[in-house]
Amino acid sequence: MYDVFGNELLVPVNEQILADSYEVDFSAIGGSAFGGDAWNLTSGIYFYRLQAAEFIETKLMVIIK
């Protein structure tokens, strides 16, 4: 995930995995979604990037608290 300035904030999954369908649980208030690590993100616009082999797609996410 990146903020609007392009700063990388977190990397929930950074490993090579087999082709299949996956879901990643995400919590903007932190907690146990990623093994207890806490990311307290404020309300705002964020970007996330999906990458699989040659496919790369960037999407927008809005967090409203």
The mean pLDDT of 59-63, rounded to a whole number, is 91
8 Å CB contact between 56 and 48: no
Strands (E), 1-65: 44-52, 55-63
8 Å CB contact between 36 and 25: no
Q: Is 3 helix (H, G, I), strand (E, B) or coil?
A: coil
CA–CA dist 41, 16 (Å, integer): 26
Assigned domain for 63 exists: yes
Assigned domain for 36 exists: yes
The mean pLDDT of 27-46, rounded to a whole number, is 66
Task: Please state the pTM of the whole predicted model.
Answer: 0.67
Assigned domain for 19 exists: no
65's tokens: 């608290």
Statement: residue 4 has pLDDT above 50: yes
Total number of domains in the chain: 1
Structure confidence at residue 60 as a pLDDT band (50, 70, 90): very high
Q: Which domain holds residue 43?
A: 1-14+27-65
